Amino acid sequence: MKRSFTAAWIGLVFVAVGVRAGAEELRTFKRIQLSDQFWSEGATAGDLNNDGVEDIISGPWWWEGPGFEKRHEIYPATKTFPLKLGSLTTVDVPGFEGTLGRENKYSDNFFAWTYDFNEDGWRDILVIGFPGTDTSWYENPKGAERQWVRHRVFAQTDNESPTFVDLTGDGRPELVCITKGRYGYAAPDWRDPGRPWTFHPLSADNNYGNFTHGLGVGDVNGDRRLDLLEKNGWWEQPGSLLDDPVWTFHPQPLGRGGAQMHAYDVNGDGLNDIITALEAHAFGLAWYEQYREGSTIRFREHVIMNKAPEDNLYGVKFSEVHAIELTDVDGDGLKDIVTGKRFWSHGRTGDPDRNDAAVLYWFKLARSRDGAVDFIPYLIDDQSGVGTQVVTSDINGDGLPDIVVGNKRGTFVHLQEKKTVTREQWQRAQPTRVSPSNLLRQTGAK
């Protein structure tokens, strides 16, 4: 399905349950643009002022929910760039040079998460900078109108999809990343989380670089321990982490380096599959079906979308799938894919289809009775896309997952809504299959 929209309202849909006869439930997203300035490659959400409402964080700013009209500074927002408007006129534009400018630049804020590090009852903000630089958390001032105290806790965070998750199963999150050539995780001493965190390597020094693409966490083998996913395979977490043992590596080609990688049972057979982008600065989105040959774990690739429209059942194609999130968008109990295009990730030149629309999609996971699956693409927006991070959360407390995006086009919130419509209206909004011959390869039907 290809559509062009200029309004902030874009209709999406899903098969209804519990509505009146002859009616269906239509899903829509309302786009709210908080800023057109480029402050961060990703954005996130969290209740920062303890009012029970999610707020939005992007770069040095946070906006109070639910209206997002009041903005507060977290750390000095002093960055500007010169924009030449004419032979005698140049203006200073706030932020880094993104789509408001002409040259390709990068921000100093690639990822953010909220967490109460010092356990004072107020959520703080963890910020990962440009790949290869440091990671810090900013201490919530507990409602005071002042800048937040910065705690530099990790000197070098590598990989373009690091994550902050409870990898070890101790009930607290760790920073999962690469540093100085090794995969591993950095953990604080929770008695004093503002001191430098300790890195626990899980691989040998394989010379993994700052800009390595593709990383995820999930239980691949069903032992209830989270493993590490990367483009060349997966690292199996051992039964004990004492003395930082090297984890067992299982080679498996999983693309050429994508974005966030996810382990999830796509087809409902009880085995976790792997969902990943195939190449963050080119094309491709796929899921890898896990199957067993005796006790050996193997995977079978199923391409969802690639570099040509005919590679997708619905003719959808876009490049630069640089952020992926899984969430149950429509409340049917299955996790769907939320992703899009990282517009101008390397600027106006260099990457394929770099100037195409900055699309944001959700791909609905649909299972059939014979075990086949489909990912049905629904366009959310074509004016925002994703950054290195895309975050889903119930921003306005209505029980529906919403979407937060920060990138070179600015900062965006997409609020999900639903309404009851006629069957005819619902049908008109459905994506149409344009490549039925691809069904076998796309769905994995045997």
Would you give per-residue pLDDT tens digits along the chain (446 residues)? Answer: 333 323 333 433 343 344 555 788 988 899 999 999 999 999 999 999 999 999 999 999 999 999 999 999 999 999 999 999 999 999 999 999 999 999 999 999 999 999 999 999 999 999 999 999 999 999 999 999 999 999 999 999 999 999 999 999 999 999 999 999 999 999 999 999 999 999 999 999 999 999 999 999 999 999 999 999 999 999 999 999 999 999 999 999 999 999 999 999 999 999 999 999 999 999 999 999 999 999 999 999 999 999 999 999 999 999 999 999 999 999 999 999 999 999 999 988 888 999 999 999 999 999 998 889 999 999 999 999 999 999 999 999 999 999 999 999 999 999 999 989 999 999 999 999 985 555 444 445 44
Q: Which one, of 234, 290, 235, 282, lies nearest residue 256 by Cα?
A: 282
CB of 414 within 8 A of CB of 381?
yes
Are 388 and 10 a contacting pair, CB within 8 Å? no
The rounded distance, in Å, linking the Cα atoms of 173 and 357 is 36
CA 55 to chain centre: 18
DSSP 317-371: --S----EEEE-SSSSSS-EEEEE--TTTT-SSSSTTTTS-B-EEEEEEEE-TTS
* φ and ψ of 423, to 5 deg: -60, -40
Query: At 116, phi and psi to the nearest 5?
Result: -85, 90
> Shortest CA distance to 58 belongs to which of 104, 112, 136?
112
Q: Which amino acid is at 385?
A: G
Q: Using CA of residue 66, residue 130, residue 287, residue 348, what is the dihedral sign?
A: positive
- C-alpha gyration radius of the chain: 22
Q: Which DSSP letter does residue 164 get?
A: E
Beta strand pairing call for 260-264 and 135-139: unpaired
Residue with tokens 């896309």: 385
Segments of 232-335 assigned E as strands: 233-236, 248-251, 260-264, 273-277, 285-293, 296-305, 324-327
| Pairing verdict, β 135-139 and 410-422 | unpaired
Between CA 102 and CA 88 the distance in angstroms is: 17
The one-letter code for the residue type at 160 is E
Residue 361 is encoded by which pair of tokens? Answer: 């999609």
Considering only the C-alpha atoms of the chain, give the largest distance between any 2 of them, rounded to a whole number of Å.
73
Place of tokens 């921000």: 107
Q: ω before 66 within 30° of 0 (cis)? A: yes
